[in-house]
Amino acid sequence: MCNLYRMNQSRTEVADFFSAIGADMRVAPGNSPAEIYPGYPGLVLADRRIQQMNWGFPLARKGAKGQPLKPKPVNNARSDKLGSPFWSASFKSRRCLIPVSEFAEAEGEKGAKTRTWFTLPDTPLFAIAGLWRDTAEWGPAYTMVITGANAQMRSVHHRMPVIIPPENWQQYLGDDPQAAFDLCQPYAGDMIMTRTDVPWAGHR
């Protein structure tokens, strides 16, 4: 799963990145953090427009006495669960692309985990498959689609985000959910892995 990623480019650079498939690349003013955690705002390409949404679909929770608790952001959608009631409507009709500079996974022993970063060579941005929907709790929200890990990631985690190459953007965002699902595979290209000594549970 992925609970932290970076998006280091400006909104204008994100618009340029997606310009080949965007219908309206006007960039709304606003700020997004460079390091994005569940519950934080992030940019997505949804309905062919650059939009800011909250990372994570709200999951209602109750306390031990039945009292309502703050919703939990569900920020990863497993590819083998996309047909479940929680995800199916969004996967059928509300797919999006998430611009990412690099994403992190926790590595190490419990209580001493550090951040290991993954990115793609020779590009400042790449796109990860996402879903989105409007929510009563947080307004528009998005989640990241994940699948089994490729060989490069397997030593760190058994799952990874679904990376969509530019030549497949139209297919993922198109009208055919099955064609989009066919793209939800481990990434076959090269990746760059950077291990750090930065604690996983760092400051947000």
| Beta-strand relationship, 49-55 and 163-164 | unpaired
**What is the pLDDT, as a whole number, of residue 102?**
98
The confidence score (pLDDT) of residue 69 equals 80
CA angle 9, 93, 44 (to 5 degrees): 10
Cα(54)–Cα(65) distance, integer angstroms: 29
For residues 38 and 55, is the Cβ–Cβ distance under 8 A? yes
* Amino acid letter, residue 123: T
Distance from C-alpha of 196 to C-alpha of 203, rounded to nearest angstrom:
15
What is the Cα 118 distance to its own chain's centre? 13
24: which DSSP letter? B
Instruction: Give the pLDDT score at 25.
Output: 61
- Structure confidence at residue 179 (pLDDT): 98
Instruction: For the chain, report the end-to-end CA distance as a whole number of angstroms.
Output: 19
Pairing of strands 139-148, 76-78: parallel
Q: Which residues of the chain have pLDDT under 50?
A: none
- Please give the biggest Cα pair distance in the chain: 53
Strand blocks (E) in 32-156 = 35-36, 41-46, 49-55, 57-62, 68-74, 76-78, 95-100, 102-107, 114-119, 126-135, 139-148
CATH assignment of 5-58+69-198, among 3.40.30.10, 3.30.428.10, 3.90.1680.10, 3.60.15.10: 3.90.1680.10
- The pLDDT tens digits of the residues spanning 113-169 come to 999 999 999 999 999 999 999 999 999 999 999 999 999 999 999 999 999 999 999
- Residue 29: the pLDDT is 59
Q: What is the pLDDT of residue 152?
A: 92
